[in-house]
Amino acid sequence: MDAPLAATDRIRTRPAPDAPLFIVINGASGQQDADATCDTLARLCQAAGRRHSFLRVAGPDPIDRVAAEAVARARADGGIVVAVGGDGTLNAVAQAVLGSGCAYSVLPQGTFNYFGRTHGIPQDLEAAMRGLLQASVVPVQVGRVNGRVFLVNASLGLYPKLLEDREAAKQEYGRSRGVALLSGLRTLASGARRLALDIASGGDHRRVRTSTLFVGNNALQLARIGIDEAAVLGQGELAGLMIKPASRLALLGLALRGALGRLGAAENIESFVFRRMTVAPRGRRRIKVAVDGEVVWMRSPLVFEVAPEPLPLMLPPPELRVAVE
């Protein structure tokens, strides 16, 4: 499957076939796994005669600092910046790469991997690396909220709470989709606080009450839960999703509909597309926002938009991509 194109296909980043790789890997959560990953990648690079360097995130070093160093070195040497890890790692490295003139590649190692799966990048480490060694640049649309990049989604309200509870559950029970699902159901059963929002988009202004405002930039994720607007993503627009005021039982029903791929047909759901949207939570100067699985505080108002330039993503040749599942 060809990757969806951004609103513009103009992109100047064309690394050389033998461009060196600057590989950012987060070793803070599992030193032994990170060591094994580096050994595997080094072996494949050496076999292909490809120059490479590892930049590891460990201890007190924040990932954004390591990502910035990778970008600086790649710019100086005509290289490619590679992110290895889950959504948080991919997001942080993309934030540093966007607008830098460097090409970006991912070796997805997370739980859901919507970004990698959408673009046919294998989750198997060796397969993904072999694809990278033969990859070429394709421009890919990304979203931004208050200047911060999101590859998959950004949201406020109930969804950040779901993520916080899910992370706590994973710390206790381990990382798996089953743990994530059960944690989500427990959060929904506990109810949700409603937000009062002033929303402006495309010349329209309105006031709404909702438990969740979700903004998606990933067609695969939205298609899986049954949102028709998934079809327009990658064409210069983002998809918005709001849950109308609902009871706890209704929220659980919506979760079931999402699991069955029929969420878009629910009467408690409003979905829409936009290019730029300003959201002001009434009575709040700051609010928690979930950005590609990471929960951060942001100042109001929130501005959601398509980034003005695409991300130069390195994609394997079609024969080395995996089918979107």
Does the residue 180 lie in any domain? no
Q: What's the pTM value of the predicted model, to 2 decimals?
A: 0.85
Q: Residue 300 in contact with residue 280, Cβ under 8 Å?
A: yes
Question: Structure tokens of 264?
Answer: 């878009």
Does the residue 104 lie in any domain? yes
- Asked if the model's pLDDT at residue 251 lies above 80, the reply is no
Kindly state the average pLDDT of the residues 255-280. Answer: 81
Does the residue 125 lie in any domain? yes
Does the residue 245 lie in any domain? no
- Identify the CATH number of the domain in which residue 98 sits: 3.40.50.10330
Does the residue 151 lie in any domain? no
Does the residue 257 lie in any domain? no
Percent of the chain with pLDDT over 90: 59
Q: Which neighbouring-strand residues pair with 237?
A: 233
Encoded amino acid at 303, one letter? V
- Taken in order 234, 145, 105, 225, the sign of the CA dihedral is negative
Domain that holds residue 93: 21-142+309-320
Does the residue 108 lie in any domain? yes
**18-56 CB burial, b ≥16 within 10 A, e <16:** ebbbbbbbbbeeeeeebeebbeebeebbeeeebebbbbb
- Asked if the model's pLDDT at residue 9 lies above 60, the reply is no
State pLDDT tens for residues 159-214: 777 776 666 655 655 555 555 655 555 555 455 578 999 999 998 999 999 988 99
Tell me how many domains the chain contains: 1
Does the residue 107 lie in any domain? yes
Q: Can you tell me the distance from the alpha carbon of 225 to that of 212, in angstroms, rounded to the nearest whole number?
A: 16
**What is the pLDDT at residue 254?**
61
